[in-house]
Amino acid sequence: MANEHGNLSINSQNIFPIIKKWMYSDHDIFYRELISNGCDAITKLKKLSLIGEYEAPDDIEYKLDVKVSPKNKTIKIIDNGIGMTKDEVNEYINQIAFSGAEAFLEKYKDKTNEDQIIGHFGLGFYSAFMVADKVTIDTLSFQKDATAVHWECDGGTEYDMKDSDKQNVGTEITLYLNEDSYEFANEYKAREVIEKYCSFMPIPIFLTNEDEEPKTEEIPEEEVTEKDTVIETFIKEAETEEVEKEDGTKETVEKTPAKKMAKIVKRPVPLNDIHPLWTKHPNECSDEDYKEFYRNVFHDYKEPLFWIHLNMDYPFNLKGILYFPKINTEYETIEGTIKLYNNQVFVADNIKEVIPEFLLLLKGVIDCPDLPLNVSRSALQNDGFVKKISEYITKKVGDKLTGMYKTQKESYEKYWDDINPFIKFGCLKDEKFAEKMNDYIIFKNIDGKYLTLKECLEENKEHHENTVFYVTDETEQSQYINMFKEAGIDAVILTHNIDQPFITHLESKNEGVKFARIDADLSDSFKEETSEDELKEISETLTETFKKALGKDNLNVKVEKLKNASISSMITLSEQDRRMQDMMKMYNMYGMDPSMFGANSQTLVLNANNELVKYIAEHKDGENTTLMCEQLYDLAMLSHAPLTPEQMTNFIARSNKIMELLAK
């Protein structure tokens, strides 16, 4: 062909300066784009060969070679795929897919630097110019009598085309890196980037460093195959060992016999797994396969609890595996990763527009070839199809959980502590999911049994209609827990951050149902029946005495006859006020002191059946009465919330003093 020189037809503006600036932090995606083009080209050729339109050489081994040369600062990406004719280079490369370019420019105007879906704009090839000053293509089409084409362009709007001496079908792209991008020719960098984006591409990818002598390995000669390049053969001498005989003399014996060996060029190992687990049928995958895949992909050495293998062909194509990770402590923040793939090509992590937010707490891979990734993210968010995908995934997760509750309740309970924050978050975020899970939310009670909400209400029916008591801190609230246990009243344990918003949600969903922290109020079940009059006098005396002793004029005091006489005092705090306080703390609202709200809603409950309380009432002006009041108050506070450092110091000093008094 005659040498050709031409102008890249790009609408008005020159796209290169934009491409070069584009996605500053994600320059490495050129690897993904060029390698996936090569894989596409091979996949196309394989199809043609399947339907008999192309006769491949017998020994063909479809693969993609990436060759880096740090010395020359070049990267070559070589495929043995379909190749391009001159006309095709013209059409696909020179007349940069208009629609793609336009969509891209349109998008760029909105300036969304962090948009990772880029590259699906049909401009993938040109991403090469983010890192290269000059790019060449050598390509030979599979078509009969095609001539090979050489194309080159130095990043301006002009290109040159001429004959190439390429002999075999396929395409070789060479990047002459720009000054800022030399690192991409580094073998380790290249490996890292390719593993990031191409780990599961469907064609084997090999990486070599052209500057280095090929690595070698030694194998037994009988294992050499036609494909191996033998450098030399040699005899490996027998290995011997000295052993002691029964009579004490030593003898040399042969441990391994002499062997014929061959030194060969190291057999190439592809960087990727062309059949990732999610592409297989669930029946073909063992538990160990799932666990190994999890370890490899997420580098999490804690075993996942369980997983869901998504496998859908109709009405859309979607495959993937979602893992429920093990959470070690309740304090560890749960942060998952959902990796999104498009036909085994990595797109990005955690794309909120496609994957429901609460599922991002899981770990998993989702491959959806039908995703319209060539649109902007905001368009994705409003895309009906994407919504369906997201609903489907949510439904599958719900099905798995409810199914497990129904058929493997024991496992469900075993996993509950780990999975409940996820489920609760899901219920808060997703109406449909909440509906589905409604009957499958369980609560661990203070006896370690798991109950549904219905069962919880049933348990407490005789004591408290429609109230579920809960514990937020088993240590702090142990006194209350013991009281509840003695009185045969149930309470559930809700210690996670998500539990507060979640119970508010449950209250709004289940009319009449109330949640109250175990120290919110004293149930009648703890008290003896008394008449108001009976306690009137002692109430007045004690209130006055305590107010004076503690110097708290606005102290709320309530005197009760508690069945358990050993309890002297305790604090109750109204549920509503406490929730308000918690909320203030959480948001640190306006820098206000949270105790300003409802500080006064704490009530000091004194037990008129307790000997010490009786004693105080009878000796309100006694020598040590103030001391006792202070101590009783602190004891009540202690079993309610931690003391402040100052309170603690006083408490310890006072305790010592009391011991001294005792000793005397």
Smallest distance from Mg ion to CB 281, Å: 29
SS3 6: strand
Please name the amino acid found at residue 502: F
Task: Give the nearer residue to ligand ADP in terms of CB position, either 91 or 192.
Answer: 91
For ligand ADP, the binding residue among 19, 23, 66, 82 (CB under 6 A) is: 82
C-beta of residue 220 within 8 angstroms of C-beta of residue 261:
yes
Report the partner that residue 320 touches, choosing among Mg ion, ligand ADP, none (CB closer than 5 to 8 A by kind). none
Report how far apart, in Å, the C-alpha atoms of 378 and of each of 112, 245, 352, 663 are: 11, 82, 11, 76
Q: Whose structure tokens read 């496998």?
A: 311
Structure tokens at 75: 């990267």
Based on the shown chain and the rule CB under 6 A, indicate whether residue 171 belongs to the binding site for ligand ADP. yes
Report the partner that residue 122 touches, choosing among Mg ion, ligand ADP, none (CB closer than 5 to 8 A by kind). ligand ADP
For residues 644 and 630, give the distance between their C-alpha atoms in angstroms, rounded to a whole number: 15
Q: Could you tell me which residues come within 8 angstroms of residue 291 by beta carbon, excluding any fewer than 6 positions away? A: 303, 304
Residue 350 neighbours by CB distance under 10 Å:
16
Phi, psi of 414 (to 5 degrees): -65, -40
Task: Give the nearer residue to ligand ADP in terms of CB position, either 142 or 484.
Answer: 142
Task: Give the nearer residue to ligand ADP in terms of CB position, either 122 or 398.
Answer: 122
For ligand ADP, the binding residue among 70, 81, 204, 398 (CB under 6 A) is: 81
Residue 336 neighbours by CB distance under 10 Å:
20
Smallest distance from ligand ADP to CB 390, Å: 25
Based on the shown chain and the rule CB under 6 A, indicate whether residue 79 belongs to the binding site for ligand ADP. yes
Smallest distance from Mg ion to CB 34, Å: 8
Residues facing residue 141 across a β-bridge? none
Nearest C-alpha neighbor of 423 from the set 410, 440, 407: 440
SS3 370: coil
Smallest distance from ligand ADP to CB 128, Å: 9
Residue number of the CB atom closest to ligand ADP = 124
Report the partner that residue 79 touches, choosing among ligand ADP, Mg ion, none (CB closer than 5 to 8 A by kind). ligand ADP
The residue count for binding ligand ADP (CB under 6 A) is 16
**Positive or negative: CA dihedral 531, 535, 540, 546:** negative
Pairing of strands 259-265, 230-236: antiparallel
Report the partner that residue 123 touches, choosing among ligand ADP, Mg ion, none (CB closer than 5 to 8 A by kind). ligand ADP
Report the partner that residue 119 touches, choosing among ligand ADP, Mg ion, none (CB closer than 5 to 8 A by kind). none
Task: Give the nearer residue to ligand ADP in terms of CB position, either 169 or 271.
Answer: 169
Q: Whose structure tokens read 């190749």?
A: 83
Task: Give the nearer residue to Mg ion in terms of CB position, either 89 or 606.
Answer: 89
To the nearest 10 degrees (0 to 180), the angle between helices 532-550 and 625-638 is: 100
Report the partner that residue 499 touches, choosing among Mg ion, ligand ADP, none (CB closer than 5 to 8 A by kind). none
For ligand ADP, the binding residue among 15, 66, 84, 559 (CB under 6 A) is: 84
Nearest C-alpha neighbor of 217 from the set 154, 268, 145: 268
Restricting to residues 93-152, name those near ligand ADP by CB under 6 A.
93, 122-125
Report the partner that residue 62 touches, choosing among ligand ADP, Mg ion, none (CB closer than 5 to 8 A by kind). none
Based on the shown chain and the rule CB under 6 A, indicate whether residue 92 belongs to the binding site for ligand ADP. yes
Looking at residue 91, the DSSP 8-state letter turns out to be I
Smallest distance from ligand ADP to CB 278, Å: 23
Task: Give the nearer residue to Mg ion in terms of CB position, either 100 or 268.
Answer: 100
Structure tokens at 86: 């001159």
Smallest distance from ligand ADP to CB 228, Å: 28
Mask of contacts with ligand ADP, 24-63, x by CB under 6 A?
---------x---xx--x----------------------
Q: Could you tell me which residues come within 8 angstroms of residue 179 by beta carbon, excluding any fewer than 6 positions away? A: none
- Per CB under 6 A, residues contacting ligand ADP are 33, 37-38, 41, 79, 81-84, 92-93, 122-125, 171
